[in-house]
């Protein structure tokens, strides 16, 4: 998943027909293909991955609400990494090699089956610390991914073939290491997780030293953007269900409305801040693409955790949880602050002009953390701070363009938050 040495504009195979052929050579696509967009198969697999994310979020809610925040966050981080890493590997591979034949579709659907097995095991992993089903689902996904790489190697030569074989070998070897989550005693599992995360992250770095895959910048930016939208949508859905069920049982609208309003402001601001500028132009060098792609683990995990935090806040407000107001507020404000600072680090800071624009999101993240101590109004205050960060960014950008006399120009990417 690094920047490609890739083909000149117009080179490489054309956009494949959406009518799948039984079998085509799995060869690299051109980096400069026109009109490259996400396929229906990619959108379908995104939805299936979000099913697993929803399961992880629901279990995080239960763990935090029952006072087991530390263990719940650890289990959530482990489960979310498995989901995100499998999705990310699929997305970068598809951006470079998707030929949309029948065999490619079937192997991809096997990955979907693995996602659903993993999702089915998340509840047991949280409640009983039994990671067998999670591991089994991950094995299914990753063996299917290795199969795709071996198929790509078969149709490649030289450095590209070495790269594909390195990917396949790395994926399969890491599966052996993940057995530690099943076989080793529970106290050792966090260390297994840390070691295996490093090993997994190292596979693309090592593999693409031989050859850089020809992923498509516009396509990969769109893939990440769409997945972020789906995760934010899941956050809205989770919060809506929590508010509805609490209102039906308790009629505590006075306690719920500030949480609902604050949650909506947070999600709306999260969407605005992420999509304020096109990021594909920044994905040029090896370092940029790896840092951007890997950093989305924090963006996506914190976005999903915001939804879980809103559910926790609702349960605490209506007396279903024994958590303190401070702890319930932190369940929303901390992931919100983490989201803001990570989006700034990966996206926004590359487009800011001047110290004032650069400080908007870091300052907002700090103020959101301070909102934790505002009691019942903490979530609403965090939402207002997030919305004010967007408004401040828009205002500063408008003044910048007005002062430079370029307000009437069109076509340029204009950072607004």
* pLDDT in the model for residue 30: 78
Nearest C-alpha neighbor of 89 from the set 230, 207, 5: 207
* pLDDT in the model for residue 285: 58
Count the alpha carbons within 13 Å of 60 in the hemisphere toward its beta carbon: 31
Q: Which two tokens stand for residue 321?
A: 């949880």
Distance CA 29, CA 38 (A): 14
Under the phi-then-psi rule, with left for phi > 0, alpha for psi from -120 to 50, and beta for the rest, what region is 256?
A: alpha
* pLDDT in the model for residue 169: 95
The H or E element containing residue 377 is none
- CA distances (Å), 380 to each of 81, 83, 161, 386, 387, in order? 30, 31, 54, 10, 11
pTM of the model: 0.84
CB burial of residue 17 (10 Å; 0-12, 13-18, 19+): exposed
The H or E element containing residue 136 is helix 132-154
* pLDDT in the model for residue 284: 64
Distance CA 411, CA 281 (A): 14
CB burial of residue 361 (10 Å; 0-12, 13-18, 19+): buried
* pLDDT in the model for residue 404: 58
Nearest C-alpha neighbor of 23 from the set 188, 133, 154: 154
* pLDDT in the model for residue 393: 81
* pLDDT in the model for residue 203: 93
* pLDDT in the model for residue 249: 66
**Domains present along the chain, CATH in parentheses:** 40-215 (no CATH), 218-404 (1.20.1410)
The position carrying tokens 């308790």 is 250
The DSSP call for residue 28 is: P
The DSSP call for residue 15 is: P
pLDDT along the chain (417 residues), means of 10: 41 50 80 82 90 89 85 89 92 90 92 92 88 92 94 90 94 92 88 93 89 85 90 84 71 77 92 81 66 89 92 85 88 95 81 73 94 92 94 79 53 45
Q: State the distance between the two ends of the chain, measured CA to CA, in whole angstroms.
A: 28
């Amino acid at each position: 998943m690094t920047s490609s040495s890739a083909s000149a504009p117009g080179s490489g195979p054309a956009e494949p027909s959406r009518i799948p052929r039984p079998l085509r050579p799995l060869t690299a696509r051109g980096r400069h293909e026109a009109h490259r967009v996400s396929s229906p198969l990619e959108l379908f697999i995104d939805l299936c991955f979000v099913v697993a994310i929803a399961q992880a979020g629901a279990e995080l809610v239960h763990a935090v609400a029952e006072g087991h925040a530390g263990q719940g966050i650890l289990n959530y981080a482990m489960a979310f990494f498995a989901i995100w890493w499998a999705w990310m590997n699929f997305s970068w591979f598809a951006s470079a090699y998707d030929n949309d034949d029948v065999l490619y579709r079937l192997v991809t659907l096997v990955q979907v089956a693995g996602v659903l097995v993993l999702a089915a095991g998340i509840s047991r992993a949280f409640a009983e610390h039994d990671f067998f089903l999670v591991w089994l689902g991950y094995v299914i996904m990753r063996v299917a991914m290795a199969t795709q790489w071996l198929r790509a190697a078969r149709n490649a030569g030289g450095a590209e073939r070495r790269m594909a074989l390195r990917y396949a070998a790395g994926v399969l070897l890491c599966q052996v290491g993940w057995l530690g989550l099943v076989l080793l005693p529970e106290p050792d599992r966090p260390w297994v997780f840390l070691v295996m995360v490093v090993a997994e992250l190292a596979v693309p770095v090592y593999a693409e030293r031989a050859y850089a895959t020809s992923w498509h910048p516009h396509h990969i930016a769109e893939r990440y953007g769409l997945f972020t939208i789906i995760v934010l949508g899941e956050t809205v859905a989770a919060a809506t269900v929590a508010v509805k069920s609490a209102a039906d049982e308790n009629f505590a609208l006075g306690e719920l409305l500030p949480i609902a309003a604050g949650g909506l402001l947070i999600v709306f601001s999260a969407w605005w801040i992420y999509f304020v500028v096109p990021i594909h132009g920044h994905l040029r060098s090896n370092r940029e693409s790896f840092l951007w792609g890997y950093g989305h683990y924090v963006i996506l995990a914190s976005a999903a955790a915001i939804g879980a935090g809103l559910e926790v806040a609702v349960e605490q407000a209506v007396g279903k949880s024994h958590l303190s107001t401070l702890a319930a507020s932190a369940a929303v404000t901390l992931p919100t602050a983490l989201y803001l600072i990570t989006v700034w680090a990966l996206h926004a800071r590359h487009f800011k002009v001047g110290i004032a624009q650069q400080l908007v999101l870091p300052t907002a993240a700090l103020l959101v953390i301070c909102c934790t101590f505002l009691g019942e109004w903490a979530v609403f205050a965090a939402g207002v701070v997030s919305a004010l960060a967007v408004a401040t960014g828009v205002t500063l950008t408008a003044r910048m363009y007005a002062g430079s006399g370029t307000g009437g120009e069109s076509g340029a990417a204009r950072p607004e938050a």
